[in-house]
Amino acid sequence: MTKHEMDLRKQAGDAPTLSRTADDTAMLRAAAELSRDIATARAGIYWPDFLASILVGYGAFVVTVMAGSLPLALGAAVVAAFALYRAASFIHELTHIRKGALPGFRFGWNLLVGIPLLTPSFMYEGVHTQHHARTRYGTADDPEYLPLALMKPWSLPLFILAAALAPVALLFRFAVLAPLGLIFPPLRREIVARFSALSINPAYRRRPPEGDMKRMWIWQETGASLWAIGVLAASAAYGWRPLLLGMAVYSVVAVVNQLRTLVAHLWENEGEAMSVTAQYLDSVNVPPPSPFAVLWAPVGLRYHALHHLVPSVPYHSLAEVHRRLMAQLGETSTYTRGNHPGMVPLVARIARSTMVRRVG
């Protein structure tokens, strides 16, 4: 790397030696100790939050479909998108909730959100935990990692565009590919390996499910496939407007989530295994007073870096853990380096870093 490239990397906030960062044992110990007493998922928070998000989201979508004026339809569509985005974001919690902690929540989430939005939890469970594996994070085996900050500038708009097309891809996956996979076993193997995970790493291949995961996979995929086919049949019989509006709202959800994914990490690792502290520093917290993070990073996702330190802590406890760590470790600690002011500065930082790839 030339001196000019190194200077540009510094201006972009790059950390080329991040993979060689040693663990800050004081921070790791404090995170474990200060979260221990609030590490239990509380049904009295999960269920009301989830159900309220659904009611607002689906209610606003009905208004979108029935609205007699464009401003009302657009306003309702925005409300529907962000409410449904919050409801859908609980899929992240499902991957970390301890077995038996919230009876019925997984089934209820899949029935009310996962299947209707064609993102049943089997597409994330068993996948996201690999992102947290000590030896996988940031490597070629991580399904949720791409070194975006080190890629070409055009990779960022392409990354966002792909999300906008997600509703079409999901509808095709469950209405067309899933039934065909029952007839053609080789196609089924490809569907399982390449089209059954909410991942961003194009090289990732998923293994066939076994045991409890296989049973859960079967009923969720069957439900999503029947729903997708039913929606297409109903649209052909009664009109396509609700489906098209639904897909437009869903595209907004997918794009916002992709933007959130874009700034969930700094994407500065080039494939080497990293310490837990390095993983934390490559991840992002956007704590208050950032005014809009509650919308684009709901259900605790604004504390994504902290989540990598204490992945089993429920979303409703992360703000308190963050407050405790800041109070104990102080403003000059390693922990503070994971805190960032908002989405726009983070996108700008990553975009500047991609410009380095144009040098030389």
Residue 101 has pLDDT above 70, yes or no: yes
Among 213, 216, 200, which Cα is nearest to 156's? 200
DSSP symbols for 149-181: GGS-TTHHHHHHHHHHTHHHHHHHIIIIIHHHH
Residue 263 has pLDDT above 70, yes or no: yes
For residues 202-211, b (16+ Cβ closer than 10 Å) or e, as one string?
eebebeebee
Residue 358 has pLDDT above 70, yes or no: no
What are the angstrom distances between the C-alpha of 4 and each of 8, 351, 354, 357?
6, 17, 14, 12
Mean pLDDT confidence for 235-257: 97
Residue 53 has pLDDT above 80, yes or no: yes
Residue 177 to residue 165: CA distance in whole angstroms? 17
Tens of pLDDT, residues 331-356: 999 999 999 999 999 999 999 988 87
Residues facing residue 265 across a β-bridge: 283
Q: Would you call 249 exposed, middle or buried from its count of C-beta atoms within 10 A (0-12, 13-18, 19+)?
A: buried
Residue with tokens 């929540």: 105
Q: Which has the higher per-residue pLDDT, 13 or 213?
A: 213
Q: Which two tokens stand for residue 112?
A: 């009310």
Residue with tokens 């077995």: 99
Residue 318 has pLDDT above 50, yes or no: yes
Residue 100 has pLDDT above 90, yes or no: no
Tens of pLDDT, residues 61-90: 999 999 999 999 999 999 999 999 999 999
Task: Give the amino acid at 304.
Answer: H
The mean pLDDT of the chain is 92
For residue 15, the model assigns a pLDDT of: 43
For residue 269, the model assigns a pLDDT of: 87
pLDDT band at residue 4 under the 50/70/90 scheme? very low
Q: Which two tokens stand for residue 114?
A: 């996962």
Residues facing residue 339 across a β-bridge: 285
How many CB atoms sit inside 10 A of residue 3's CB? 7
Instruction: Please give the DSSP secondary-structure letter assigned to residue 36.
Output: G
For residue 271, the model assigns a pLDDT of: 85
Mean pLDDT confidence for 286-298: 93
For residue 357, the model assigns a pLDDT of: 53
Residue with tokens 């068993």: 126
pTM: 0.92
Domain of residue 328, residue span: 3-358
Ranking 20-24, 116-120, 167-171, 182-186 by mean pLDDT, the lowest is 20-24
Mean pLDDT confidence for 220-228: 98
Backbone angles phi, psi at 303, to 5 degrees: -110, 50
Among 121, 63, 70, which Cα is nearest to 92's? 121
Could you give the number of structural domains in the chain?
1
